[in-house]
């Protein structure tokens, strides 16, 4: 009788623990990572689209999801590094593919730049003929007011 009561208590605790795991999923990112995502998500997704179309010019970009993010050394390629799963397809075909790209971005006080991209993995059998590790300087997003210089046209 005592073992029946003990097993009932254990099963109730197991059920409660399982319900808590479902109701309160663990956060995928730390607070610092979530702050980086909140600040740079738009720029990172734009960078992933740019990198994908550079590696696969015929790809039709469908969307991106940030898998990992961290601060990085500028010498590695940029001050923020993100691993981005990018969904795409070939035009006129329905098959969807996923390419995981490491993206480095560098924000300054006026803009955010894509400064490096590198292929991490790709689930398409068609080889990529273009470089998959490039250092670039692509303007992704401007921050604040842009100063416009007046110019004189002597044409």
98-154 pLDDT, tens per residue? Answer: 999 999 999 998 999 999 999 999 988 888 888 899 999 999 988 876 555 556 666
Residue 151, in any domain of the structure: no
Residue 23, in any domain of the structure: yes
Kind of pairing between the strands at 60-71 and 111-122: unpaired
The distance of Cα 138 from the centroid of its chain, to the nearest Å, equals 17
Of residues 153 and 37, more confidence is placed in 37
Region 35-39: what's the mean pLDDT?
93
- Per-residue model confidence (pLDDT) at position 128: 84
Rounded-to-integer distance, Cα 73 and Cα 48, Å: 19
* N-term to C-term CA, the chain: 100
The beta-strand segments (E) located in the chain are 60-71, 80-89, 96-107, 111-122, 133-142
Domain CATH number, residue 26: 3.10.450
What predicted TM-score, i.e. pTM, was given to this entire model? 0.74
Residue 122, in any domain of the structure: yes
Residue 12, in any domain of the structure: no
Per-residue pLDDT of 48-76, as tens digits, reads: 999 999 999 999 999 999 999 999 999 99
């Amino acid at each position: 009788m005592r073992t029946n009561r003990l097993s009932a208590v254990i099963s109730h605790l197991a059920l409660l623990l399982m319900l808590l795991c479902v109701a309160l999923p663990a956060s995928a990112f730390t607070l610092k990572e979530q702050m980086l995502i909140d600040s740079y998500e738009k720029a990172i997704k734009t960078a992933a689209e740019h990198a994908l179309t550079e590696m696969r010019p015929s790809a039709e970009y469908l969307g991106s999801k940030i898998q990992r993010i961290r601060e990085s050394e500028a010498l590695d390629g940029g001050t923020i590094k993100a691993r981005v799963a990018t969904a795409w397809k070939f035009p006129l075909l329905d098959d969807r593919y996923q390419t995981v790209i490491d993206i480095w971005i560098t924000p300054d006080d006026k803009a955010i730049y894509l400064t490096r991209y590198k292929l991490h993995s790709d689930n398409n059998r068609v080889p990529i003929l273009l470089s998959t590790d490039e250092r670039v300087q692509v303007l992704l997003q401007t921050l604040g007011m842009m100063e416009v210089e007046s110019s004189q046209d002597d044409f």
